[in-house]
Amino acid sequence: MSRTRTALLAALALVAGASGTALAVTPGDAGLAAVPCTVDYKVQNQWDTGFTAAVTITNNTTAKSSWSLKWAYAGNQKVTSGWNAKISQSGTAVTAANESYNGTLATGGSVSFGFQGTYSGTNAVPATFTLDGVTCNVDGGTGPTDPPDPGGGTKVDNPYAGAKVYVNPEWSAKAAAEPGGSRISNQPTGVWLDRIAAINGVNGGMGLRAHLDKALEQKGSGELVVQLVIYNLPGRDCAALASNGELGATEIDKYKTQYIDPIAAIQADPKYASLRIVNTIEIDSLPNLVTNVSPRATATANCDTMKANGNYIKGVGYALNKLGDAPNVYNYVDAGHHGWLGWDDNFSSSVQTIKQAATAEGATVNDVQGFITNTANYSALKEQNFTINDSVNGKSVRESKWVDWNRYTDELSYAQAFRQEAVNQGFPAGVGMLIDTSRNGWGGSARPTGPGATTDVDTYVNGGRIDRRIHVGNWCNQAGAGLGERPKASPAAGIDAYVWIKPPGESDGASSVIPNDEGKGFDRMCDPTYTGNPRNNNNMSGALPNAPLAGHWFSAQFQQLMQNAYPAL
């Protein structure tokens, strides 16, 4: 675990003998109860010139209606921004005082805040903290620069760096059973916990503990990442029907106690402390609160309900808080994709909405390792044949029907810009990005070999674009799609990894009505005969026929993905 030093200054003073000689206090001794306060100071992310820290104060004396914590740095650390406290600095001396909403500190109660800072040289934990003038215990350590111990108690800057990634044996077996599937059956994919029953295993399948046990077997002596999808919010996927969930719009308590709490308990089991557990948090939920609520033309009644009751914000905040407590757990929040949130009226407000969730229900921005884009989607990683700055006959690429005034043409540029906007809005400077490349290769004979003709801007873009969908808003079982870049760590600036979170071959939704007990409805966007809606500008859906329920194996799609893979298999 991270380096820890406990200074029992106040306790020793209180139990000193009459001669003034300090008496020894052993762990569990009643003398420890006399410690007036404890400060837990942890550096959670650290890079060449900066760091983020999380501080938790525990009050063991009389309840307080306000508080002020002070410390001094031995080095040249400077606090540059903070959250959940009013932080000021003079020289090496720092003061953190409560905000209006968190001044109450009960006896035995705790309060947390965080901040971002700069440093050079060393970044040692401050030696002494005082709460309202009284010296506290200090329990803290640095994070990413510490050597990780065998228990995996230190967060690293990028969990994928230097690590293998878990191969789900259930998906691997299905892939290997397909003709030609053995070419990719050893690739790592996400494990979807999409209902309460999935925690223990559905219909005799593997549950969470079974996957983590198998991950320990695959790990060997090196590092290993396990990728999990946390996906069961109340009123899930309010703008779609194919992937609706089991919980009603108001069942937030059930989500917390029967879904998140059991997952958090398993992830925190010391047995799994040597694994790096990556959680993709609640796909599509928060972006829906930006684009699919009134007064937008794309609004749905279900999304209006979820915005009004706040249960997406509460649920994501609760998940981040509970799951982020384990030092070997890394949370990545879903950030849609460029064809959803890349427009000016969606982009910054999406980061604001995610930050709202990341500071709800006890969570802080330090519970967010990063963000993931293009999850289970098809947006091209890199459009190589045109850029957002190109123009044809005096018309910008942004004016083309395909780009439609978006600021981004592909996922890589969007993800890098999203990361920077998140830092600008107060997320840690070391925050990372994941891009799901499981189905965005768009290879095969339909892949353009160069730019389109310069007849007009639409011909130019349509002739050269790698993404061959009918419309960038089409999301269900897309015809012509192919496997994208294989999973890899640190592939580009600001990107922690390319990942296959959506397991290739698993359907996005049924192409016709299929009765089921999974809470999954029928969405016309999965029907190849559907002529569209405002979210895809009333275009054809582009979906494959004869698709099964969301998450069920779709052999025809799997074969298409392999056939059109780019890079080719």
Q: Per residue in 274-314, pLDDT tens? A: 999 999 999 999 999 999 999 998 899 999 999 999 999 99
Computed from CA positions of residues 558, 563, 567, 569, in that sequence, does the dihedral angle turn out positive or negative? positive
pLDDT mean over 378-403: 97
pLDDT above 60: residue 148: no
The pLDDT assigned to 139 comes to: 61
SS3 317: helix
CA 304 and chain centroid, separation: 24
Distance CA 156, CA 160 (A): 9
Distance CA 172, CA 76 (A): 51
Distance CA 364, CA 323 (A): 12
Q: Which residues are annotated as catalytic?
A: 284, 508
Q: Per residue in 178-230, pLDDT tens? A: 999 999 999 999 999 999 999 999 989 999 999 999 999 999 999 999 999 99
Percentage of residues in the chain with pLDDT exceeding 70? 91
> What is the residue type of 409?
T
User: Kind of pairing, strands 68-72 and 129-131?
Assistant: antiparallel
pLDDT mean over 49-71: 89
The pLDDT assigned to 451 comes to: 96
Burial zone of 190 (CB within 10 Å; 0-12 exposed, 13-18 middle, 19+ buried): buried
Tell me which residue has tokens 């892939």. Answer: 175
Q: Per residue in 118-140, pLDDT tens? A: 998 888 888 889 999 988 877 64
**DSSP H or E stretch at residue 215:** helix 208-219
Q: Are 440 and 500 in contact (CB under 8 A)?
A: no
Q: Where are the beta strands (DSSP E) in 120-272?
A: 129-131, 134-135, 137-141, 163-165, 191-193, 223-230
- Closest Cα to residue 354, out of 376, 381, 382, 332? 332
> Angle at the Cα of 79 (from 332 to 422), degrees rounded to 5?
30
Q: What are phi and psi of 329, to 5 degrees?
A: -110, 135
The pLDDT assigned to 546 comes to: 97
- Kindly give, in sequence order, each residue whose CB lies less than 8 Å from that of residue 12, ignoring residues fewer than 6 positions away: 22, 23, 25
Question: What is the full DSSP assignment across 58-100?
Answer: EE-SS-BSS-EEEEE-SS--EEEEEESSEEEEETTEEEEE--T
Q: Per residue in 109-123, pLDDT tens? A: 888 888 888 998 888
- Kindly give, in sequence order, each residue whose CB lies less than 8 Å from that of residue 317, ignoring residues fewer than 6 positions away: 357, 358, 359, 360, 361, 362, 363
Distance CA 124, CA 564 (A): 52
DSSP-assigned letter for residue 160: T
DSSP-assigned letter for residue 478: B
Distance CA 320, CA 306 (A): 19
The pLDDT assigned to 152 comes to: 44
The pLDDT assigned to 282 comes to: 97
pLDDT mean over 151-166: 84
The pLDDT assigned to 30 comes to: 35
Give me the chain's average pLDDT, please: 89
Distance CA 566, CA 442 (A): 6
